[in-house]
Amino acid sequence: MEEKIKELLFDAGQVKPLVLMNKAGKRLSFEQIYATELDGSTYCILRPLERVEGMSMLSALAFRVFGETFRAVRDRELSEKIFAEYYEALRVAKGEDGDPHGR
């Protein structure tokens, strides 16, 4: 099952919301923003598609993937590293590294 989840996360054509369940059993829908492998672990950036208490609708969270479980990254340094990689990938995709084709 873990491989199917990774396959889904790294599928560029994936546009369906990811539905996760919180500890209270409430289902929450998220838009997938980015997925990456860092230091042998899988991480993703997700943005809630519905109101989550304590979060702006424009906010996104980094999650670590453990098999079928997604856990919010609470380590600020790690979260910043994941987001920095995402922003770098965006910059490269837009060709801002000097190569107009983003290579």
Q: Give 18's strand partners.
A: 30
Q: How far apart are CA 7 and CA 35, in angstroms?
A: 10
pLDDT band for position 51 (cuts 50, 70, 90): confident
Give per-residue pLDDT as tens, 38-50: 989 999 999 988 8
**Residue that has been written with the tokens 């980015």 in this structure:** 34
100's CB contacts (< 8 A; 6+ apart) are: none
- Is it the case that residue 56 has pLDDT exceeding 80? no
